[in-house]
Structure 1
């Protein structure tokens, strides 16, 4: 039966039998025939949705109607058992019903009807994600903007950062499905937009393999379009994803390719590439090269009058001083960075800088100050949902406990870090295991 379903044009064809009373398609036809025309049209539109489930807002975009018009139609479909509300506000079609709805759309709707409905669905997710992403501090200097939304698109607008993060968590499977759909349809502008918009969320949740995959698709799309600004951004974003995966040598090559495309007319974007390159050199222990790149980035950020990015460069410079055992200078640079991050209300930047300050205080023997800084960093990262950095802070907290002779507390922090790193399948898990073994 499985083999027949694989070979059939739709799964329903394999399930057809000679007895009409037992034929699934006939059973579905009975339920569908009982629908009013608006509900029947909506059902066919839902068959075009590529993801596992959808909300009323997505259904609204698929139909081109208003939410007020769509809600009673969803209730009618649920009453006919053609869809089900498997979670509050989230509707699902059984795989066979989805195939049935898609088959009806193919037979009964025009190519233009299907194209417009699919475009509205894509735009719903692109523009909803873009709106949610702005709560994470969308880069002011991003060269990528989503294409304009088609008429009839209903995009969501989360009220704050926590609601935006919750929306991404609920919709990530749909977003990935839609991203794959636009890639397969060669909608290159949408491929680039999806990759740019989802980067912050995927980085925050450490969904690194998905992050790499989308950025690789964006590189291909930018190359096909000949869009050098988008290609430079895709190289840089892919470099960031590979850095988080631990593939640092390949990340360096990508950053150098981005630089090799020529200077970006925006000094802040150009500085971002140099700062990312500095981060990789830091991880490889190549501190003189890291300082050179961080200084270049700082100069470019100041030229672009971007205090947020200037703060990031100052934190990196402070961290390089820390790694070179110049702890007093590390404190000075990171204190400047923290003040700038607080002035622009960048909580992610504050979290990373609190960790840098904690490490410098730890090396100077200021254990109370170190503990305070690390706990501030950990609380912020947990609130923001940054998984990989959370594990890094836990390693640092365990180190401080170990120096203070608090072996039980050290072991607990390292075990928690190890659990996160193993869940992320991250190579830094070996560092946690080494500490625990010691």
Structure 2
């Protein structure tokens, strides 16, 4: 999860745009509510933050990420995917490789729970590639874990359709999962 608090630390104290200031305050309250377990109220604050507006694309990116995560936890995977896609687009437009990696991972996790395993794997592979390019071992480990989960879920899903002897496709997916978990 991206943290708005981290984005807030990057802002100068001389910020004069009242809309951006209000946006940040609303977003921080949304983050606090989500952390306390009230994602529905958090979503309302994030939406209000977007309405208040900001010129700071880092804050907007964090809001999109948080909205995607909140909708994910609420089980609204379609909306989660929409906001993770917005975050990914924004990260790419800012040439923010770490942001692109994180949003790719979030998108991959969302696609996985939607049963769109091949698309999820592509997103998680992108997360892994970027993490390795950046030399970010923590992000790399998350990407590997997420890839393992995608293939594990894919194998379980395919195995449910044909219980008994596993097909070669199921075995391949499960072996890929093991490889990423290692």
Task: Determine if the TM-score, normalized by the shorter chain, exceeds 0.5.
Answer: yes
Q: How many residues align?
A: 161
Q: For structure 1, which runs of at least 5 residues remain unmatched after alignment? A: 1-137, 148-188, 190-221, 376-438
- State which of 158, 177, 181 in structure 2 corresponds to 1:370: 177
Instruction: Provide the C-alpha distance between the structure 1 equivalents of 2:141 and 2:41, rounded to a whole number of angstroms.
Output: 28
Of 93, 97, 101, the match for 1:307: 97
Alignment partner, residue 144 of structure 1: 11
CA distance in 2, matches of 1:272, 1:355: 23
Provide the aligned C-alpha RMSD in A: 2.9
Structure 1's consecutive aligned runs of 4 or more residues displaced over 4 angstroms after TM superposition are 138-143, 225-228
Q: How many Å apart are 1:339 and its aligned residue?
A: 1.1
Q: CA deviation at 1:351?
A: 3.5
- Larger CA Rg, structure 1 vs 2: 1
For the Cα contact (< 8 Å) 1:141–1:268, is it kept in 2? no
- Which structure carries more helix by proportion? 2
Matched, 1:354 2:144: yes
Q: CA deviation at 1:330?
A: 0.8
1:329 and 2:119 aligned: yes
SS of structure 2 residue aligned to 1:332? helix
Q: Deviations over 1:66-98 (max 9, x none)?
A: xxxxxxxxxxxxxxxxxxxxxxxxxxxxxxxxx
Q: 2:64 pairs with 270, 274, 294, which one?
A: 274
Rounded Cα–Cα distance in structure 1 between residues aligned with 2:139 and 2:29: 21
Instruction: Compute the displacement of 1:296 (Å).
Output: 1.4
Query: Which one is further off, 282-291 or 233-242?
Result: 233-242
> Please, what TM-score do these two structures have when normalized by structure 2?
0.73
Where relative contact order (Cα < 8 A, 6+ residues apart) is larger, the structure is 2
In the aligned structure 1, how far is the partner of 2:93 from the partner of 2:113?
27
Task: Work out the CA distance in 2 between the residues paired with 1:297 and 1:347.
Answer: 22
Give yes or no for contact 1:142–1:269 (8 Å, CA) kept in 2.
no
Q: Report if aligned partners of 1:277, 1:290 keep a CA contact under 8 Å in 2.
A: yes
Question: Which residues of structure 2 form unaligned runs of 5+?
Answer: 156-172
The SS at the match of 1:329 is helix
Structure 1 residues 250 and 347, CA gap change in structure 2 (3 angstroms): farther
- CA-CA distance at 1:226 after TM superposition: 8.1
